[in-house]
Amino acid sequence: MAETSTSASSNRKRSRWQRDESDDQIPEDIISVQPRKQKQRKPSTPPSAISSTEPSQTLQAPRLPPKKSGSKYVPNRQDHPSIMPSRSVYSYERLNQIEEGSYGVVFRARDKQTGDLVALKKLKLDQEKHGFPITALREINALMTCRHENVVGIREVVVGDTLTQVFIVMDFIEHDLKTLLTTMPSPFLQSEIKTLLMQLLSAVAHCHSNWILHRDLKTSNLLMNNRGTIKVADFGLARRYGDPIGVGGLTQLVVTLWYRAPEVLLGATQYSTAIDLWSVGCIFGELLLNEPMFQATSELDMISMVFKLLGPPTPRSWPGYSTLPLASSLSLPSPHAPGFRQKFPYLTAAGLDLLQSLLTYDPDQRISAQDALKHPYFRESPLPKHPDLFASFPSLAAGEKRRKPYSPSAPNARAEYQLLTDLDEL
């Protein structure tokens, strides 16, 4: 279908790829720029010897070793891993839109060459005035660094018609845990919760051992396939830790409110892996209760909910409390015992101990992902269920676009990435 000038202007910021199939008449010139065409080269020629400008008769002449230019300490260009251009998004057939999140639209698509189902996350770059956002670079970098069975697999980054159309290609996973928890007929069993929690902890331990903080763990960022395996996704707020931190410290605009650790709520600018473990604690509680643990409406509301469940912090439970920037502006409630047992009456003593070790005030005393994996809770009856024995559910993501259950969004920081870059030095 030929585009009128009006439709062309109204769709200027959308890729042709994103429009309905009926509108999609992919121009020949776009298809013909596929870098895959390079595969048609003569098979007998070693790849390093090929140059697109080389005349064909050089193939018959005896080849001299390439003449080294420049310093003998600098390796030849051919010795570097090949730098390939990104493939085009037209390598994929768009199937349906899965979700429009705060920071990108996610589509289900099929790889035209292999037939594999994939998810394409289109980065929102339309409003960018400062080049490619650091947050998008971090997301791609973190996904590539943290390859693991329980982290969503990144396949490649592809580009659309314009510079603002950049897509992350990932393996397609049938469900996100948030949607699944609200649509599945009955809640997960204890044995299933143990399996899911162990998978989540092993992904988190892997990210942390690769110096990556996720900083936005929540059920809508945990994907689950129909073979009982969890995949941590959405590394849009992730960053490296362990590097020297700039004078401003780390941004506090991280982690969706309901899953945000108390030290971040109280303004800490130096935080570490423990913030992800707090979020894991909130997810554990959500799996047990079948609803989010802290459904707070504001940061203050969130802090008071935490104080209510854990009892107010004491110099013993949180020695560093008084040094936190916002501590002096808060008046603590009168001391009372933690309310975990009342909130989780059916959880075993070991389960409660693990939950409390994750939801611990002091980040230094909070359990690490590695240690949590060794917790006795996972060795007591009922034992974790084998993933193959999990039920499978119809995938809403594979169907038509649908509304998701309400979940608060991640802090606005990713949209205003400049703020992040000001505070978080690379």
Ligand X SMILES: Nc1ncnc2c1ncn2[C@@H]1O[C@H](COP(=O)(O)OP(=O)(O)OP(=O)(O)O)[C@@H](O)[C@H]1O
Show which residues are catalytic: 216
Among residues 256, 282, 260, 277, the alpha carbon closest in space to that of 409 is found at 256
Is residue 409 part of the contact set for ligand X (CB under 6 A)?
Answer: yes
Contact 405, 178 (CB under 8 A): yes
Specify the stretch interacting with ligand X by CB under 6 A; choose among 42-50, 78-86, 142-150, 229-237: 229-237
| Interface with Mg ion (CB under 5 A), residue from 176, 234, 263, 424 | 234
- Report how many residues bind ligand X under the rule CB under 6 A: 24
| Interface with ligand X (CB under 6 A), residue from 204, 253, 410, 423 | 410
Is residue 233 part of the contact set for ligand X (CB under 6 A)?
Answer: yes
Q: What type of residue is 121?
A: K
Is residue 158 part of the contact set for ligand X (CB under 6 A)?
Answer: no
Is residue 282 part of the contact set for ligand X (CB under 6 A)?
Answer: no
Q: Which residue is nearest to ligand X (CB)?
A: 101
Specify the stretch interacting with Mg ion by CB under 5 A; choose among 226-234, 271-279, 326-334, 361-369: 226-234
Is residue 101 part of the contact set for ligand X (CB under 6 A)?
Answer: yes
Q: How far is the CB of 175 from ligand X (least distance, A)?
A: 8
Specify the stretch interacting with Mg ion by CB under 5 A; choose among 184-192, 219-227, 293-301, 386-394: 219-227
Contact of residue 102 among ligand X, Mg ion, none (CB under 5-8 Å per partner type): ligand X
Is residue 121 part of the contact set for ligand X (CB under 6 A)?
Answer: yes
Contact of residue 351 among Mg ion, ligand X, none (CB under 5-8 Å per partner type): none
Give the nearer residue to ligand X in terms of CB position, either 101 or 285: 101
Give the nearer residue to ligand X in terms of CB position, either 204 or 266: 204
Q: Which residue is nearest to Mg ion (CB)?
A: 234
Among residues 64, 121, 115, 71, the alpha carbon closest in space to that of 91 is found at 115
Q: How far is the CB of 211 from Mg ion (least distance, A)?
A: 22
Is residue 176 part of the contact set for Mg ion (CB under 5 A)?
Answer: no
Is residue 286 part of the contact set for ligand X (CB under 6 A)?
Answer: no
97 forms beta bridges with: 107
User: What SS3 string covers the chain?
Assistant: CCCCHHHHHHCCCCCHHHCCHHHCCCCHHHHCCCHHHHHHCCCCCCHHHCCCCCCHHHHCCCCCCCCCCCCCCCCCHHHCCCCCCCCEHHHEEEEEEEEECCCEEEEEEEECCCCCEEEEEEECCCCCCCCCCHHHHHHHHHHHHCCCCCECCEEEEEECCCCCCEEEEEECCCEEHHHHHHHCCCCCCHHHHHHHHHHHHHHHHHHHHCCEECCCCCHHHEEECCCCCEEECCCCCCEECCCCCCCCCCCCCCCCHHHCCHHHHCCCCCCCCHHHHHHHHHHHHHHHHCCCCCCCCCHHHHHHHHHHHHCCCCCCCCCCHHHCCCHHHCCCCCCCCCCHHHHCCCCCHHHHHHHHHHCCCCCCCCCCHHHHHCCHHHCCCCCCCCHHHCCCCCCCCCCCCCCCCCCCCCCHHHCCHHHHHHHCCC
Q: How far is the CB of 365 from Mg ion (least distance, A)?
A: 29
Q: How far is the CB of 273 from Mg ion (least distance, A)?
A: 20
Is residue 279 part of the contact set for Mg ion (CB under 5 A)?
Answer: no
- Contacts with ligand X in 373-392 (CB under 6 A)? none
Among residues 191, 176, 216, the alpha carbon closest in space to that of 410 is found at 216
Q: How far is the CB of 101 from Mg ion (least distance, A)?
A: 5
Is residue 102 part of the contact set for ligand X (CB under 6 A)?
Answer: yes
Is residue 322 part of the contact set for ligand X (CB under 6 A)?
Answer: no
| Interface with ligand X (CB under 6 A), residue from 94, 176, 276, 310 | 176
| Interface with Mg ion (CB under 5 A), residue from 15, 221, 269, 407 | 221
Is residue 103 part of the contact set for ligand X (CB under 6 A)?
Answer: yes
Residues that bind ligand X in the complex, under the rule CB under 6 A: 98-99, 101-104, 106, 119, 121, 152, 170-173, 176, 220-221, 223, 233-234, 236, 397, 409-410
Name the residues that contact Mg ion, by CB under 5 A. 221, 234
